[in-house]
Amino acid sequence: MTTAVEPQTLTQCIEQLKRERNAILLVHNYQLPEVQDLADYLGDSLGLSQQAAATNADVIVFCGVHFMAQTAKIICPDKLVLMPDPHAGCPMADMIDAQSLVEFKAEHPGVPVVTYVNSTAEVKAESDICCTSANAVKVVRSLDSDRIIFVPDHFLGQWTQSQVPEKQFILWGGFCPTHAKITPAMVNEARAEHPDALFICHPECRPEVTAMADAVLSTGGMVRLARESDAREFIIGTEEGICYRLKKENPEKEFYPLVDVLCPNMKKTTAEKVLASLEHMQYEIDVEREIARRARGAVERMLDVS
């Protein structure tokens, strides 16, 4: 067990170990502020996947949830991928398994499967192409078929279909419990308190919430909008962790999180756990070779589209 150290010393120890291990820290926008501050790259699922594919590091320390670290391993099979807390999972990813997808495909023969990256390697292996919330519309439009199987998030699927109405979507019933908490009443309350603020939300939100938004964006899209918009105030309809980055990068603007929109799994990683992961080279993420090979095709097709 790592002995507690002062934040400045802890950061110095992590930086030294990164140099010794030739390691890179990839950090999701929902992570704790102390972990975001350690990042070599801070971003959304698409950006993190692109960085994993491009890095020359020997070791990837992934600060996010399990499917993200798995995706990095799928893209980079010869690199060591570590996850500081192996118990940081994703309820949405657990809402479908490979056998269920095989059976679902059999009910709709010949229909291509678009799988959200919030899924296991085994599910990706049964898919034609992956997508993220940032590129789902582009991915769907890249396919010739008029019909699409979309798994596992039916809220993201519904929003994507609203942007590509010429295609018929066959949706799985999964969802993100954190984004599903967001209701129109919560949005109305926030707007009453901040009448001049733009409301921006994630496409994993319910359709009745996305219909209220001034913009529906991935977290990467939110970062860009906050930087480029003339607006000074924003109500943020996604996991509250991103507000730290938004305020840090735009100190002259205000960002208002909705109440209790927090992913407990995203908060499991701490700076101390990052240090321990690098010290002891723990906890390694591995994917069975054949599963990884098949999943890699779906992920690489996504990256090619992006």
Q: Cβ distance 81 to 60 under 8 Å?
A: yes
Which residue in this structure is represented by tokens 């291990």?
21
Q: DSSP readout, 71-114? A: HHHHH-TTSEEE-S-TT---TTGGG--HHHHHHHHHHSTT--EE
**How far is the C-alpha of 193 from the C-alpha of 187, rounded, in Å?**
10
Q: Which long-range contacts (CB under 8 A, 24 or more apart) does 111-115 make?
A: 111/145, 111/147, 111/148, 111/149, 111/170, 112/143, 112/145, 112/148, 112/149, 113/149, 113/150, 113/151, 114/139, 114/140, 114/143, 114/148, 114/149, 114/150, 114/151, 115/151, 115/152, 115/298
Contact present, 172 and 151 (Cβ < 8 Å): yes
CA distances from 185 to 35, 76, 209, 259, 262 (A): 32, 43, 9, 11, 17
Cα torsion angle, 244, 246, 252, 253, sign:
negative
Return the bridge partners of 24, or none: 60
pTM of the model: 0.92
Q: pLDDT tens string for the chain (306 positions)? A: 444 566 678 999 999 999 999 999 999 999 999 999 999 999 988 789 889 989 999 999 999 999 999 999 999 999 999 999 999 999 999 999 999 999 999 999 999 999 999 999 999 999 999 999 999 999 999 999 999 999 999 999 999 999 999 999 999 999 999 999 999 999 999 999 999 999 999 999 999 999 999 999 999 999 999 999 999 999 999 999 999 999 999 999 999 999 999 999 999 999 999 999 999 999 999 999 999 999 999 999 999 997
Q: Which domains does the chain have, with CATH numbers?
A: 7-89+266-286 (3.40.50.10800), 93-177+291-305 (3.40.50.10800), 182-257 (3.40.50.10800)
pLDDT (0 to 100) of residue 265: 97
* CB atoms closer than 10 angstroms to residue 114: 25
Sheet holding 254-257, edge to edge: 215-216, 198-201, 233-237, 254-257
Q: Which pLDDT belongs to residue 2? A: 47
